[in-house]
A and B are shown apart, each in its own frame.
Chain A
Amino acid sequence: AQTVTQSQPEMSVQEAETVTLSCTYDTSESNYYLFWYKQPPSRQMILVIRQEAYKQQNATENRFSVNFQKAAKSFSLKISDSQLGDTAMYFCALGLNRDDKIIFGKGTRLHILP
């Protein structure tokens, strides 16, 4: 069975600091994708970043980057120069190529403090 674990239920950082959210996953599949979703107070789910498992290069989207460690099955999200608008729940997610379903972690609630 596939699982996604986010060990940090809640975090707080000061504005402009860098923060890293942790995620580990488990799957026996070799072909999969990893995602980070953001859910702000509006509760709209927004895709932040995606990573193909077959790519060694870590994905980057502006201030958001990942540290993908395939052997360790780790997929952390780094937010640089954090902004108040980054305050949200962040979900790590795993998608398998053999079906189109995505499995979500339980989320990390991130507070950016002014």
Chain B
Amino acid sequence: SQTIHQWPATLVQPVGSPLSLECTVEGTSNPNLYWYRQAAGRGLQLLFYSVGIGQISSEVPQNLSASRPQDRQFILSSKKLLLSDSGFYLCAWNRQVNYGYTFGSGTRLTVV
């Protein structure tokens, strides 16, 4: 069966520090991978998606970047965090849209 792992679960970082959030999928190959941000307990904003190794599409210009160094690994990064980067970050995967997404358990990021 397929599983998705996301870590860390909680992170408190100072302004200006770097960020690296990791997401890995097991039990499938060539998944589509997604990073979402959820601010203030409300809607989900798509940040990045990837359909293959090294292929990254950005939905929203911002202080963040994403990389996919391996088929089932998706990394969200920042060189210098801003206060506005605080939020709940969710990784998700699918093979085709008809079955929706499977989400990771999320990372709560607080920038102080």
Contact = CB atoms under 8 A, between A and B. Distances in A.
Interface size for chain B: under 10, 10 to 19, 20 to 34, or 35 or more residues? 20 to 34
Interface in A39-76: 42-45, 47, 50, 52
Interface residues of A, number: 25
Given A91-B44, A100-B32, A107-B42, A33 B97 contact: yes
- Residue from B42, B44, B88, B102 whose CB has the most chain A CB atoms within 10 Å: B44
A-B pairs, top 7 by smallest CB distance, nearest first, are: A95-B97, A45-B103, A106-B43, A100-B97, A104-B44, A100-B32, A35-B100
Interface of A: 33, 35, 37, 42-45, 47, 50, 52, 89, 91, 93, 95-97, 99-102, 104-107, 109
B27 to A, nearest CB: 17
B97 A96 contact: yes
Nearest to A44: B105
Contacts of B98: 33, 50, 52, 95, 97
A89 B90 contact: no
